[in-house]
Structure 1
């Protein structure tokens, strides 16, 4: 096995670990939001993450050129929008719903690449879009055909995740991935701080469960996944990353049902199955045709 293939496999495994942590973190955050408002939770989470990555990689981050620092901060703010809208969305929807909706970035990443490069991604991607949109409608529309605000915010978070994956791919080439991750954390913290101070009252006190969730989500749920994904994207394509990250929907749904007793109705099951089918089609059809 050549070195390039070996690094790609290691990168894929790292992204798969990120997907599992994302799914688990959605469950943890939903359980903790009863004791803290969403924007303050995100700010504290990103502050913990920034301190953690700067403590380990701060010297490398400070040595980067100004352009790379700004690029990293801008990329972090894009992902911060996903977290902020997702955190509010979890007040109105289930962790399983949100995980499956955000997993739709697996389809929107190749579509975005098509728009940017003018290269048609293939009819299998079009099929995936149709399946995922049908599933999204099933998750977002209730019996009265009204949109659940939590699912709508989750859809916006999915678009932010799509933008984030593309931005990381653009900026990580030729840069120190760990240093770039540091500035992403700083950018995330800055935007979350602005939103927290602007829209929510300062928390007088936090319960022990909320602090545990903040520390876990900041270190394992953000700092670790931020470094793992940024480094991994040096060795694989954004479409491949999106496909692997889409499995976070499976992990989040299963953990939501098992750990916190979230419901699994037939409507949710069928809609999730459509989204999952669209996700699988992106990878399975090219593989059956012998494409890379």
Structure 2
């Protein structure tokens, strides 16, 4: 692994740490603000803050680059939107498990879209990470409780969450495909602003369709959560992923991103005293081993 790849993977690991750290903060403020409203505010504020830094680039942006940035933003938005809707109709356990399957879809889409076959090490890493996700999603008394829960009825919420996983995998692969031909600052702004605009429209539509009522009660806790999520979990992480993901394969990136639930669990353990189950610890171990396998397996 060269220096460029080390820096890139370090940036992507940092992203998963930041994303994982937002779960506790966001969970605590959802009593005061609806999920889609929170997402729309964060992405809208992020796009406004980024605008002065990318405005000078507008004259040099081609129609192709503009359309690709728009498409990337749509993919990112769809992942957020369908997951938000899906959560209304399924359990948190099922949602977490199904969302985690993006790590399985990524190598498939990488092969189809980019004609790049994942290495054996990456494939083994994906399988180990999947086992880890099963452990993380299972209840303490039964390893395969997640499958029993899924077997009770694959409903519309589960289907929408599956769409979320697929579109996040599409997002990862499409970002890899186009990022080399873009200024990363503009591409960061494009996807954030598109996601923000579509999220604002979704707040209105979701309210009219009674999918998610509009709720917002501003207080210090909500303001801090919005600022942290906007600055770090939106602007910083999107910028780093856009700039550095191109140095690794989409499959490798998805394996790294599978660390997010581990960081979320650790944050919850240290800050709100949520218990780490034995299955959760085992799941984290499998994911970590999967990452090492993907990293250390001979490339040839």
1:216 is matched with which residue: 212, 228, 251?
Answer: 228
The answer for unaligned runs of 5 or more in structure 1 is: none
Which residue of structure 2 aligns with residue 193 of structure 1? 200
Please list the CA deviations of residues 158-198 of structure 1 after superposition, one character each: whole Å capped at 9, or x if unmatched: 33321111111111122211111111011111221222111
Tell me the SS of whatever aligns to 2:31: helix
Alpha carbons 1:54, 1:182 under 8 Å: kept: yes
Alpha carbons 1:169, 1:234 under 8 Å: kept: yes
Which residue of structure 2 aligns with residue 145 of structure 1? 148
Alpha carbons 1:61, 1:180 under 8 Å: kept: no
Please list the CA deviations of residues 118-175 of structure 1 after superposition, one character each: whole Å capped at 9, or x if unmatched: 5653555554454444444451664892249988866554333211111111111222
2:270 is matched with which residue: 252, 255, 258?
Answer: 258
Please list the CA deviations of residues 209-265 of structure 1 after superposition, one character each: whole Å capped at 9, or x if unmatched: 122212211121101111111111343332333333333232222112211222322
| 1:142–1:36 distance in 2 versus 1, CA, 3 Å | farther
Aligned length: 282
Which residue of structure 1 aligns with residue 81 of structure 2? 84
| 1:249–1:280 distance in 2 versus 1, CA, 3 Å | farther
Correspondence list, 1:232-251, <5 A: 232-251=244-263
Which residue of structure 1 aligns with residue 237 of structure 2? 225
| C-alpha separation in 1, matches of 2:113 and 2:69 | 21
TM-score with structure 2 length normalisation?
A: 0.78
The answer for unaligned runs of 5 or more in structure 2 is: 139-143, 208-212
Deviation for aligned residue 1:279: 4.2
2:191 is matched with which residue: 176, 184, 187?
Answer: 184
| C-alpha separation in 1, matches of 2:82 and 2:289 | 26
1:161 is matched with which residue: 168, 172, 175?
Answer: 168
Deviation for aligned residue 1:113: 1.6
Deviation for aligned residue 1:207: 3.0
| C-alpha separation in 2, matches of 1:185 and 1:50 | 6
Tell me the SS of whatever aligns to 1:35: coil
Alpha carbons 2:252, 2:294 under 8 Å: kept: no
Which residue of structure 1 aligns with residue 210 of structure 2? none
Deviation for aligned residue 1:44: 0.7
| C-alpha separation in 2, matches of 1:152 and 1:266 | 29
Q: Determine whether 1:207 maps to 2:204.
A: no
Alpha carbons 1:84, 1:192 under 8 Å: kept: yes
Alpha carbons 2:102, 2:168 under 8 Å: kept: yes
1:34 is matched with which residue: 23, 31, 37?
Answer: 31
| C-alpha separation in 2, matches of 1:42 and 1:237 | 28
Which residue of structure 2 aligns with residue 110 of structure 1? 107
TM-score with structure 1 length normalisation?
A: 0.80
| 1:252–1:165 distance in 2 versus 1, CA, 3 Å | same
| C-alpha separation in 1, matches of 2:274 and 2:160 | 19
Alpha carbons 2:47, 2:193 under 8 Å: kept: yes
